[in-house]
Amino acid sequence: EVVITLKDVDVRFHEKNRDVHAVDHVDLTVERGDIYGIVGYSGAGKSTLVRAINLLQRPTSGSVTVLGEDMLALSPKALRAERKRIGMIFQHFNLMNSLTIADNVAFPLKGLRPKAEIQAKVTELLELVGLEDRATAFPTELSGGQKQRVGIARALASDPEILISDEATSALDPKTTSAILDLLKQLNEKLGLTIVLITHEMEAVKQICNKVAVMDEGAIIERGSLLEIFAKPQQKLTKDFIDTTIQLDAAIESVRQQPAVAHLAGADQLVRLTYLGASTDQPLVATLYKDFNVTANILFGDIQILQGTPFGNLIVVLSGTQADIEQTFKYLAANDVQVQHIDKEA
């Protein structure tokens, strides 16, 4: 079931002497239960794009359909009601420091339901995010991670079906980030919550998203399931984002210092092998040695598990005759192992 459809959404800003094409004719389809990652550098247009979902940002042109409603056709009153079905969390939490945690969470419900009902709901929400014992505390007494838990509880107060997370973990340290992402994943599973997650870190996408779109200069330049994107990234920018999850630059730098690289000779090649799925390094390397008469000396290996599937990155020196190495590349390509040549020197 499709819950969000953006069709040809375009957003332009006119500033003094600058025209900004923040979102460039974007199509996006999000299905119920997705955790859809939108990754891109700062200024790529991610925030503007997701703000078009609940019309915090009105598109210059294009159509926005959310939970079956044509958002641009709604009356102001109907739009307010529809927005309650779309929660939002932010990088800087946007809590009210003069209110207790319980009152922050209750805020969206104020005046809309009987007091006792609100109180029960707040207790339930604080339990859901693991803050049941901090109801009477104030935001300034909480850690960043706890503040974001309050932000999440508040966003869920009106029982939304969709949650938009706009860089919600960018102000948090890695461990807290991981815990908050785990919480989002739990909420996705427990409540069937659909999540659109904006981030500049592929690491976050990797941890919980099932789908990902890469944005650059207002446009979505590549999209697919998480596994598709990691297995066969097409765009340089996508590859760069994936490489940050294995700190490839640092690995290549240290590999270049190794004697095996200093002494590369003849047809020897320094390559990165990337694969997703069945291949594992030992059988792969053993096969090369046995069937192709090529030795593969592994200088760096990183195997991660993405949605239960191994995602392998090896940097190896392939040694053998030119002909044997060519055969090897053919075999690797036929087995969905991507080969990328690495220069011996930076």
- Note the residues at the interface with ligand ADP (CB under 6 A): 13, 15, 20, 22, 40, 42-48
User: Which residue lies nearer to ligand ADP by CB, 199 or 313?
Assistant: 199
Work out how close the CB of 148 gets to ligand ADP at its nearest, in angstroms, rounded to a whole number: 18
Work out how close the CB of 74 gets to ligand ADP at its nearest, in angstroms, rounded to a whole number: 22
Work out how close the CB of 203 gets to ligand ADP at its nearest, in angstroms, rounded to a whole number: 17
User: Which residue lies nearer to ligand ADP by CB, 139 or 218?
Assistant: 218
User: Which residue lies nearer to ligand ADP by CB, 6 or 101?
Assistant: 6
Work out how close the CB of 41 gets to ligand ADP at its nearest, in angstroms, rounded to a whole number: 7
CA dihedral 296, 298, 304, 306 (to 10 degrees): -20
**Ramachandran region, residue 171 (left: φ > 0; alpha: ψ -120 to 50; beta: rest):** alpha
Work out how close the CB of 233 gets to ligand ADP at its nearest, in angstroms, rounded to a whole number: 19
Which residues 6+ apart lie within 8 Å of 259 measured at CB?
Answer: none
User: Which residue lies nearer to ligand ADP by CB, 13 or 289?
Assistant: 13
User: Which residue lies nearer to ligand ADP by CB, 118 or 198?
Assistant: 198
Q: What's the CA gap between 71 and 79, in Å, rounded?
A: 7
218 burial type by CB count under 10 A (0-12 exposed, 13-18 middle, 19+ buried)? buried
Which residues 6+ apart lie within 8 Å of 90 measured at CB?
Answer: 151, 166, 167, 168
Which residues 6+ apart lie within 8 Å of 143 measured at CB?
Answer: 176
